[in-house]
Structure 1
């Protein structure tokens, strides 16, 4: 059975996006790019919500992405991606399929049948929905050493209390920390 991991970068005050859905505050330097490159080698299926999909497709297929982060761009474009959306009719990004059915049932089936693990990238609403039904096995949080005025927490909308156990912690020279948690 495949595992499902949520990967999100956040600010020190716990936001994954500001009130305008902007994430330009995120530091994606050489170390962060190297970390992304290594993770993309795992061949995990990337699970994306519509907003994240549209933002990532726009960036990772651009010349700017290939110029600044060539290995990450190649990995992102070659990875198998699944987009959860009730409003999109089709997806154009290479190696991408559309999930339009019942989210919970489809993810349970994907976890049951996939030969590869699954990683949610960003996609706060998706993280909330899957957290609330207990389908996420681990949370990997890239903590940027920055605070912003207002934003949305990655756990915004999570019902009840989520008890987690820290199982790994990595410090990058940039001051960014990568924290990995599992459910208790």
Structure 2
């Protein structure tokens, strides 16, 4: 079974708005490129899917936009080519190498996890991961903790029904002061 791996940028006070942390640099973009590359599939809710598509979908012209730095292109290429699954009750269809999940979320995610593959199923965003965590479906959590106190915004996994015990399995410090913390979910009774 492939693990469901939730990864997100978060500030010291738990804000997970995509603009709350420090701007990405070459080191953090390489980190996120590696995270995407180790995934067999990406799983997004509608908002995250549309945000990622707007920023990282290869233009019809075939070239990357002028605003994109050379060190951002490997990330753009990795996310552009990755198979995507989008959870939405409002979208009628998706493209960008994606399919739509609009039925029983738990069943659909279990089916994704059961598919053959060497990597993980990567989930990003804010709302969808909270629902998946409540269902006990997330196996691994990766938080790229930014050295910022935002003082506002959506907070990480706000509204969980029950606390989730985690075991630290890896950490990586960045020159920027950010720290990537990787945890594995600890089953109740372990």
Relative to the length of structure 2, the TM-score reads 0.87
Structure 2 unpaired stretches of 5+: 60-64
Shift of 1:66: 6.5
Would the aligned equivalents of 1:65 and 1:73 in 2 still touch at CA under 8 Å? no
State the alpha-carbon separation in 2 of the partners of residues 57 and 26 from structure 1: 21
Structure 1 residues 1-184: aligned runs within 5 Å:
1-17=1-17, 23=19, 25-61=21-57, 63=65, 64-65=67-68, 69-93=72-96, 95-115=97-117, 116-121=119-124, 123-184=125-186
Residues 23-32 or 82-91, more deviating = 23-32
State the alpha-carbon separation in 1 of the partners of residues 89 and 141 from structure 2: 25
State the alpha-carbon separation in 2 of the partners of residues 26 and 91 from structure 1: 31
Would the aligned equivalents of 2:36 and 2:122 in 1 still touch at CA under 8 Å? no
Cα RMSD between the aligned structures?
A: 1.7
Aligned residues: 178
Q: Secondary structure at the match of 1:16?
A: coil
Q: Secondary structure at the match of 2:154?
A: strand
Would the aligned equivalents of 2:20 and 2:150 in 1 still touch at CA under 8 Å? no
Q: Secondary structure at the match of 2:16?
A: strand
Structure-2 change in CA distance of 1:66 and 1:175 (3 Å): closer
State the alpha-carbon separation in 2 of the partners of residues 68 and 23 from structure 1: 19
Shift of 1:108: 1.0
Shift of 1:65: 3.9
Relative to the length of structure 1, the TM-score reads 0.90
Structure 1 unpaired stretches of 5+: none
Q: Secondary structure at the match of 1:153?
A: coil
